[in-house]
């Protein structure tokens, strides 16, 4: 049974509660979710407000405090692209979709595949990267409107896929054999994960985004490149370290520098990180990400699995089976107390061969998958969407986010229209 989002009296009680715990204490879901059990459902306390990190000296007027809302105990989200969020008629239709259904959260591009930013900023490290093609000039007020409607706001930051930064600093980019910047089959370039000067830019973008109201920072493309002429790839910054180790060092740097703001942090991983223990040649390993993020979102789109995965010749015929197997395995690994996978956060267990490591038990609620509602390579049906949701539930998980790059959600709309009990 879903509860209607945006009820004024619930928001009033929520703000009263947040004020009681203290401004600045506590704080990518509201209303009934503002209740104490929802706040207690996460592993650390989230702040309810934050002043802009760009505030000048204390002698000058400070920017208004931004109110953040707590993460819902069950997140049900859809994605809005950078261009859609800058198109009022389109974005408003999607917000109405959220209000009319059991959805309670939205994922909005902060930085997309171009490397450009979706909202204006005077920050000297970021202002030149503001997109002139897409984005919302009114992002801060739009987020405030979403909060007033009780909608939790997650900001998606495309991280190491960044053609814009690579054009400015080609020496930071993944290189190609023989010289020059490497590009994938789509013509997109990547920043080398080990280029630590770039890490500060990612952190700065996270701080500014949280300061204008994004409740959660969701990091995508946290990986080395794939889908290109991989035989020509040259990495210049690894210093003899493995891809998983360099990527984990970035995770730690990210969380060490962003956790003090109070932002909720999440990471998108390839779907097969839920079931594979190797790094898929992109550096991503589930156990190495778990210590640093509040939520991990494997992208378990059935269409993106190879033929033969888990014995399925046509993966598109098995949306339930793929999501169920993937989430079952991810939950098991999240709850495990030991692992053979090394992490900077795990202690080795003496006299074990192969070497085993002590691993904290993390809540299974850390796992919050991206599911599919887009037509690739077949038309996606309501039954296929329902199968994924059921598989996630049968794995003991409630939260999910749906992806559709075109922001249409045709199949999901039909499912939620049939099942919604929002009053």
Number of domains in the chain: 1
pLDDT score at 27: 37
Q: Quick one: which of 135, 16, 159, 140 has its CA closest to 81?
A: 135
Is 15 part of any domain?
no
**Phi-psi sector, 241: left (phi>0), alpha (psi -120 to 50), beta:** beta
Q: Which residues touch 240 (CB under 8 Å, ≥6 apart)?
A: none
- Top pLDDT among 184 and 5 is at 184
Note the pLDDT tens digit of each residue in 54-79.
333 334 445 557 899 999 999 999 99
Within its chain, how far is the Cα of 167 from the centroid? 25
DSSP string, 264-288: EEEEEEEGGGGT-SS-TTTT--HHH
pLDDT at 51 > cutoff 60: no
- C-alpha distances in Å from residue 159, one per residue of 114, 192, 203, 415: 11, 11, 10, 32
CA atoms 11, 17, 22, 26: torsion sign:
negative
Q: Which residues touch 75 (CB under 8 Å, ≥6 apart)?
A: 29, 104, 105, 152, 368, 399, 400, 401
Q: What is the mean pLDDT of residues 210-233?
A: 97
Q: What is the mean pLDDT of residues 39-46?
A: 33
Q: What is the DSSP letter of 64?
A: P
- C-alpha distances in Å from residue 137, one per residue of 51, 86, 120, 225: 20, 7, 6, 31
Is 171 part of any domain?
yes
Within its chain, how far is the Cα of 44 from the centroid? 18
pLDDT at 352 > cutoff 70: yes
Note the pLDDT tens digit of each residue in 118-136.
999 999 999 999 999 999 9
Strands (DSSP E) along 81-129, which ranges? 105-111
pLDDT score at 122: 96
Note the pLDDT tens digit of each residue in 7-23.
333 333 333 333 333 33
Note the pLDDT tens digit of each residue in 100-118.
999 999 999 999 999 999 9
Q: What is the DSSP letter of 113?
A: T
CATH number of the domain bearing residue 415: 3.20.20.80
pLDDT at 44 > cutoff 70: no
pLDDT at 46 > cutoff 80: no
- State how far the Cα of 341 lies from the Cα of 355, in Å rounded to an integer: 9
DSSP string, 26-40: B----GGGGSHHHHH
Q: What is the mean pLDDT of residues 285-306?
A: 98
- State how far the Cα of 347 lies from the Cα of 356, in Å rounded to an integer: 9
Is 14 part of any domain?
no
pLDDT score at 348: 98
- C-alpha distances in Å from residue 16, one per residue of 19, 42, 421: 5, 20, 28
**CB-based contact 195:249 (threshold 8 Å):** no
Three-class SS state of 301: coil
pLDDT score at 258: 98
Strands (DSSP E) along 112-250, which ranges? 152-158, 175-176, 216-220, 233-234
**CB-based contact 213:147 (threshold 8 Å):** yes
pLDDT score at 419: 81
With pLDDT > 70 as the criterion, what percentage of the chain qualifies?
84
Is 266 part of any domain?
yes
**CB-based contact 401:77 (threshold 8 Å):** yes
The pTM for the full model equals 0.85
Within its chain, how far is the Cα of 306 from the centroid? 23
pLDDT at 83 > cutoff 60: yes
Within its chain, how far is the Cα of 157 from the centroid? 8
Is 370 part of any domain?
yes
pLDDT score at 65: 75
Q: What is the mean pLDDT of residues 380-396?
A: 98
Is 281 part of any domain?
yes
Instruction: Provide the mean pLDDT of the chain.
Output: 88
pLDDT at 24 > cutoff 60: no
Is 154 part of any domain?
yes
Per the structure, the complete domain to which residue 228 belongs is given by: 73-419
User: At 340, is the pLDDT very low, low, confident or very high (cuts 50, 70, 90)?
Assistant: very high
421 exposure class (CB count in 10 Å sphere: 0-12, 13-18, 19+): exposed
pLDDT score at 39: 31
Is 350 part of any domain?
yes
Q: What is the DSSP letter of 117?
A: B
8-46 as b/e, with b when 16 or more CB fall inside 10 Å?
eebbeebeebbeeeeeeebbbbbbbbbeeebbeebeeeb
pLDDT at 5 > cutoff 90: no
pLDDT at 379 > cutoff 50: yes
pLDDT score at 169: 98
Residue 14: how many CA atoms within 13 Å on its side-chain side? 29
- Top pLDDT among 291 and 51 is at 291
User: At 335, is the pLDDT very low, low, confident or very high (cuts 50, 70, 90)?
Assistant: very high
User: At 205, is the pLDDT very low, low, confident or very high (cuts 50, 70, 90)?
Assistant: very high
Q: Quick one: which of 190, 332, 164 has its CA closest to 247?
A: 190
């Amino acid at each position: 049974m879903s509860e209607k989002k945006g009820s004024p009296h619930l928001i009033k009680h929520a703000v009263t509660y947040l004020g009681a715990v203290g401004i600045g204490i506590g704080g990518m879901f509201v209303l009934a979710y503002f209740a104490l059990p929802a706040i207690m459902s996460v592993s650390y306390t989230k702040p309810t407000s934050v002043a802009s990190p760009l505030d000048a000296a204390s002698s000058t007027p400070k920017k208004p405090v931004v109110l953040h809302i707590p993460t819902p105990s069950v997140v049900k989200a859809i994605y809005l692209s950078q261009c859609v969020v800058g198109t009022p008629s389109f974005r408003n239709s999607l917000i109405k979709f959220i209000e009319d259904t059991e959805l309670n959260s939205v994922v909005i591009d902060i930085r997309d595949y171009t490397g450009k930013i979706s909202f204006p900023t005077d920050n000297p490290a970021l202002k030149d990267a503001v997109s002139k093609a897409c984005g919302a000039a009114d992002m801060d007020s739009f987020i405030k409107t979403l909060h007033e409607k009780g909608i939790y706001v997650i900001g998606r930051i495309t991280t190491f896929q960044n053609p814009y930064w690579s054009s400015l600093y080609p020496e930071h980019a993944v290189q190609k054999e023989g010289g020059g910047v490497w590009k994938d089959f789509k013509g997109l370039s990547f920043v080398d994960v080990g280029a630590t000067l770039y890490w500060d830019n990612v952190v700065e973008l996270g701080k500014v985004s949280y300061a204008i109201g994004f409740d959660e920072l969701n990091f995508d493309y946290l990986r080395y490149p794939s889908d290109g002429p991989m035989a020509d790839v040259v990495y210049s910054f690894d210093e003899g370290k493995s891809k998983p180790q360099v990527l984990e060092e970035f995770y730690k740097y990210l969380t060490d520098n962003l956790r003090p703001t109070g932002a909720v942090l999440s990471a998108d991983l390839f779907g097969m990180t839920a079931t594979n223990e190797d790094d898929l040649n992109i550096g991503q390993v589930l156990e190495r990400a778990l210590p640093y993020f509040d939520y991990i979102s494997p992208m378990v789109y059935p269409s993106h699995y190879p033929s033969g995965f888990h014995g399925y010749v046509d993966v598109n015929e098995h949306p339930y089976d793929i999501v169920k197997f993937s989430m079952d395995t991810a939950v098991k690994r999240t709850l495990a107390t030991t692992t053979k996978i090394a992490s900077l956060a795990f202690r080795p267990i003496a006299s074990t061969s192969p070497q085993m490591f002590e691993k904290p038990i993390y809540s299974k609620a850390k796992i919050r998958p991206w599911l599919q509602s887009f037509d690739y390579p077949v038309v996606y049906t309501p039954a296929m969407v329902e199968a994924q949701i059921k598989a996630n539930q049968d794995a003991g998980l409630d939260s999910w986010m749906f992806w559709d790059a075109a922001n249409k959600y045709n199949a999901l709309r039909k499912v939620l229209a049939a099942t919604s009990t929002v009053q």
